[in-house]
Amino acid sequence: MTTFQELGVSAPILKALDAEGYTTPTPIQMKALPIVQRGSDLIGLAQTGTGKTAAFALPILDRLHQDRKHAGEKSCRTLVLAPTRELAAQIGDSFRAYGRFLGLSTAVVFGGASMMKQKQAMYRGVDILVATPGRLLDHVSQRSIRLDKVEILVLDEADHMLDMGFIHDLRKIATILPRARQTLFFSATMPKAIEELAAQFLDKPEKIAVTPVSSTAERVEQAVIHVEQSKKQDLLHALLGQKSIKRALVFARTKHGADRVMKKLDAAGFSADAIHGNKSQGQRIRALEGFKKGQTRILVATEVAARGIDVDDITHVINFDLPNVPEQYVHRIGRTARAGTDGIAISFCAPDERAYLRDIERLTKQAVPVMDTEMSLRTPKADERVQRPKGPAGRSPHPARNRAPKKHHASETHGKAHAKQGHAPSRSRDEGDRRDRKGNAVWSNNGAPPKYRKQRKPTRV
């Protein structure tokens, strides 16, 4: 098996990788490193979770280290563009971690934070600048950074850049950058608009791809639950009441939706926080840190805010709403099953979201197994239940938490399901392969999952 050493990674970086616990390069790292090392432009078709940050950061650090020179005042040698503040901050952290024994300088700039501090960080010049496009242009127009010395440009999550409307900013940045440079371009999907953007930035690029989007993150076990919109919150509480869900990322389509879901979770005594575009930078950082450290068990997020979330050990992704762009589904479920772990993605599908589900299944070329609502709403046994905090004398400080618990009946959410909790789902086959009348796989009462096409490990819900 190829090692980082065989890929030509230098000793100080090997030492840092060792400290990070990386023993083997991921497929994208094996493919990307030689290309970047020979100085070619690169298009990398890869989702987050594949190790793509190190795929570009390691050879860049090596090159800056081998050919040391001062960037010059208010200038940078490497520019990394990322769509969100979280992703930018994380990329900055990765460069610092992998390059900790090199003594290279890194600055990160994004909107919603102090311009002054960012100006100071760039004043003497930096080896690596990680930036979101809008804030970078603000600094360019205030002459706090110049881009004429950029040797290497990285565009990360280019498809998200387009989704977020950064196309004009990117075009503007392209005109300021020197032509003689190396460009590395990463995107999880490659629709036509991205190809056009790539053509504008890249010169005879070499292409690599890992885990094509149509095959969906392979290790993620998926399930969909058909449920009325008005019953989704109850269903969410029932699911999250189970201890096996150790760390869950819940996706809502809108910022208000995310807030609503989070507040109701909080009122019901769950350990939850929310992250979305209406939150201040401080709030977002605090929410992420709490989630990373395991202080918060559930993070409710919108698609955009979740882009930079790099939290290992997310056991479950729950799509409270299905995304209307099928590629986003792949991004979302890719938040679990990171760095070699397994994960579970459960999607709630209201009647008016069925078209989105069809689009997702068309893109991923696989049917998402249907999970019976009866199973998901069954009352967990005492040892499977999470303990929710209570106020003095066992009562919650929150009035809503003191109300009599709602009874969840399967019939509330699923017309055809059995009304009584704890009932076995309709079975037409043997124990190992349960299906309802429509032939959909259903989950059994003892928590055993339906037989998926790619079933590997016992499912944890």
Query: What is the Cα–Cα distance from 4 to 22, expressed in whole angstroms?
Result: 9
Cβ at position 57, least distance to ligand AMP in Å: 8
- What separation, in Å, do the N-terminal and C-terminal C-alpha atoms of the chain show? 35
Beta bridge partners of 222: 345
Site residues (vs ligand AMP, CB under 6 A): 22, 24-26, 29, 48-54, 310, 312, 338-339
Taking the least distance from each CB to ligand AMP, the nearer of 192 and 293 is 293
* Residue with smaller CB distance to ligand AMP, 26 or 302: 26
Pairing of strands 42-45, 106-109: unpaired
Least distance from C-beta 16 to ligand AMP, angstroms?
12
DSSP string of 336-378, one letter each residue: SS-TT--EEEEEEE-GGGHHHHHHHHHHHTSPPPBPPHHHHHS
Whole-Å CA distances, 447 to 245, 276, 371, 403, 461? 12, 33, 11, 28, 6
What is the smallest separation between the CB atom of 354 and ligand AMP, expressed in angstroms? 32
- The one-letter amino acid at 95: F
Cβ-based nearer residue to ligand AMP, 50 or 118: 50
Distance CA 377, CA 227 (A): 11
- Of 339 and 419, the one with the shorter C-beta distance to ligand AMP is 339
Type and span of the H or E element at 318: strand 316-319
Nearest distance from C-beta of residue 90 to ligand AMP, angstroms: 7
Minimal distance, residue 21 CB to ligand AMP, in Å: 7
Q: Which tokens in the block code for residue 124?
A: 């003497």
Q: How far is the CB of 13 from ligand AMP (least distance, A)?
A: 12
CA 201-203-208 angle, 5° bins:
90
Nearer to ligand AMP among residue 50 and residue 328 (C-beta): 50
In the complex with ligand AMP, which residue's Cβ is closer, 339 or 355? 339
Q: Which is nearer to ligand AMP, 196 or 312 (CB)?
A: 312
Give the shortest CB-440-to-ligand AMP separation in angstroms. 33
24 vs 111: CA distance, rounded Å: 35
